[in-house]
Amino acid sequence: MLSALRWWRERGWSEIDQDSYAQAWQAFGGSVATHPEVVRRLSAFLGLPVRYLGWQADGRIVAAVPCWGRHVALAKDVLKRENKRGLLDMGNAEIILPVAEDVRVPVRQRMRYVSELNAGRIDTLRPQPEGLALAREPEDYSKKFRYNQRRELRLLEEAGGSLRPMAEFSPAEQAAMYTELFERRWGFEVPGKQGLAEVFGLLREFMTGSVVMLEGNAVAIQVLYRVEAPGWVSLEYINGGVDPQSREFSPGSVLSFVNTQQAWEDARALGKPLRYSFGRADREYKDRWCRTVPVFQV
């Protein structure tokens, strides 16, 4: 029965190796959650094997998908089923599968938060009720909003605050700061707590952004991963934490301003659009920074 279901799910597709998947990603693009090294490293860390499937046309691979069984790789449902939610948190990451522009393929693995970029290329998608929050371009903010953000940054710096790149800290330091600030802000255990330091180490080359420091202590932090696809830059804001006692300086708002501005500058220097995802469009503060875009599911 299981083999029959797999045959139905994978019909038209054939198994490919990791290198072939990576070549498809580099040719057609993808997101943080489908990047070949992100998928490979995290799957190995979790002990969950990946199968890579490719769709061929005229003797070449024109679409590919990394699978955990009947789900796309890194799916929350699989983490939950395997009791591994404590090892990994990727938020509600945008899924962009590598699919060529001129094809339409049926993907039957279960997926959520599939990008609008795939909507015309995957014919098994259906709209998802929730939207995705993507950071607006800097020009989309009002002059007053930008003035207030720069003022908050200036006040923080006048009080002795500073911003330091995440890369200056070790994975263990990053995990400790993030855990403390998240739990102080929200009052419950940080998602993926058991695996934070190791995951931060595995994804270190993809981590970006800064940490707000005040009086020698971290007061705001955001977990951001960035990858560069051929046609765009994909940046995923997983989660963050803020010291509630530093609220008068708005360090979380300052950090969002600095991180988004820097990301747009970097993407524009490359001549590529930026897909800076705040995850599901479910909180009021995201409305300040983001526009809501449709997403899809299988």
DSSP output for 32-56: GGG-HHHHHHHHHHHT---EEEEEE
Cα gap 176→291, rounded to integer Å: 32
At 149-165, the pLDDT tens digits run: 999 999 999 999 999 99
At 50, list the tokens: 């990946």
Domains and CATH numbers, the chain: 2-128 (no CATH), 134-297 (3.40.630.30)
User: What confidence score (pLDDT) does residue 1 get?
Assistant: 53
Query: Burial level of 3, CB count in 10 A (0-12/13-18/19+)?
Result: exposed
How far, in Å, CA of 181 to CA of 110, rounded?
Answer: 34
Decide: 231 and 30 in contact? Cβ < 8 Å.
no
Q: Examine the pLDDT at 2 and tell me if it is beyond 70.
A: no
pLDDT at position 90: 97
Q: How far apart are CA 88 and CA 28, in angstroms?
A: 27
Cα 145 to Cα 58, 139, 153: the distances in Å are 52, 11, 13
What are 183-194's pLDDT values in tens digits?
Answer: 999 999 999 999
